[in-house]
Amino acid sequence: MKKIILLLLITLTSCTITKKVQLSPKTVIELSEFYKAHNVTNFFVVESRNSLVNLSIQDRLSIPKNIIFDANGYEIEHFDKKLCANHTLAFLKNFNEATTIKHSSYTIKDYLKHFKTNDTNLNIENIINSNKIRVFVNTAAYADKYKVNKEAFEIYNQFHEKYEVYIINLDNLNE
């Protein structure tokens, strides 16, 4: 009985409940088709295995997880630790000049060095030097089965004209 209570306590106090998921490698062409069905024309993929490891260590690979950078390129902390939730949608709906923001020391340059894009029209230096809010939403084709991409595409569709919203793909690339 003590083991069951301990297990329940750990589960209730943990933000992440992990589930084994079978990943199948995808090509950029397959991913392009997947995103085209969601009205997304360009996206970022992880640059290398080293980048994947570094992002994992930094806890930036969760799906759904969204990362927001301010006009100066610093990450805006919008994760609610009490609720174990990433409230990007609510944050973006309510964001204005008077919004109190808590920043981390993590910069957009630190983040984007781990990615490449499927589209030559996306210039990483231009994104880094932009003076707009930049939102990066983590997605994966396999995540559609679990409905965890829903909020990411909602954020993209609602806010890509107001803010710079970019799709991050975390599928296992076959290239």
The verdict on residue 14 lying in a domain is no
What residues make up the domain containing 65? 21-169
The verdict on residue 64 lying in a domain is yes
Sheet with 44-46: strands ordered across: 103-107, 74-76, 66-69, 134-139, 164-169, 44-46, 115-117
Taking only the tens place, the pLDDT of each residue in 123-144 is 999 999 999 999 999 998 888 7
Query: How many domains is the chain built from?
Result: 1
The verdict on residue 90 lying in a domain is yes
User: How do the pLDDT tens digits run along the chain, 175 residues long?
Assistant: 433 333 333 333 344 445 555 667 788 889 999 999 999 988 999 988 899 889 989 888 877 778 999 999 999 986 555 545 557 888 888 888 888 788 889 999 999 999 998 777 889 999 999 999 999 999 988 887 778 788 889 999 999 999 999 999 988 766 5
Main-chain phi, psi angles of 157, to 5 degrees: -70, -35
- For the chain, give the percent of residues with pLDDT over 90: 36
